[in-house]
Amino acid sequence: MGNCSPTSHSQSNTLDSIDLEELMANFTLNYTYDDDYPYDNSLVQPCHSTYCMQFGVSIPPFLAVASILGLICNLILDVALVRCPRLWDQPHPSRTKLVLISAAGTLFASTLPFFAVASSRGWIFGDPFCQVAQGLKYGCLFAQSLMMASTLCHVQRGFANKIVLVLFLMGFVCAIPAAMSSSSTENICVPSQNLKLLSWSLGHTSVSLALFDIFPVMAILARVAQKWRGKNQWPQMDITWLFPLFWAPYGVAQLLHILLQEKVLVATCPFQKHLDYFLGISEGLGTVHCFLCPLLILGFSFCPRKSVPALHSG
- The pLDDT value recorded for residue 257 is 86
Please give the tally of structural domains in the chain. Answer: 1
- The pLDDT value recorded for residue 231 is 64
Rounded to whole angstroms, how far apart are CA atoms 167 and 186? Answer: 35
What is the block-wise mean pLDDT of the chain (314 residues), using blocks of 10 residues?
58 46 49 42 54 84 96 94 76 80 96 92 90 95 89 67 90 94 81 75 91 88 76 67 91 89 82 89 95 91 54 40
Domain that includes residue 140, residue range: 51-303
- The pLDDT value recorded for residue 66 is 97
Question: How far from chain centre, in Å, is Cα 172?
Answer: 14
Q: Is residue 44 part of a domain?
A: no
Q: Is residue 184 part of a domain?
A: yes
- The pLDDT value recorded for residue 144 is 94
Q: Please state the pTM of the whole predicted model.
A: 0.81
Q: Is residue 17 part of a domain?
A: no
- The pLDDT value recorded for residue 27 is 45
Q: Is residue 187 part of a domain?
A: yes
DSSP 8-state assignment for residue 123: -
Rounded to whole angstroms, how far apart are CA atoms 263 and 276? Answer: 16
Q: Is residue 243 part of a domain?
A: yes
Helices 127-147/198-209 angle, 10° precision: 30
Rounded to whole angstroms, how far apart are CA atoms 128 and 126? Answer: 6
Single out the residue of 73, 75, 51, 117 nearest to residue 284, CA to CA: 51
* CATH code for position 86: 1.20.1070.10
- When computed from its CA atoms, the radius of gyration of the chain, rounded to whole angstroms, is 24
Q: Are the C-beta atoms of 213 and 244 separated by less than 8 Å?
A: yes
- The pLDDT value recorded for residue 52 is 78
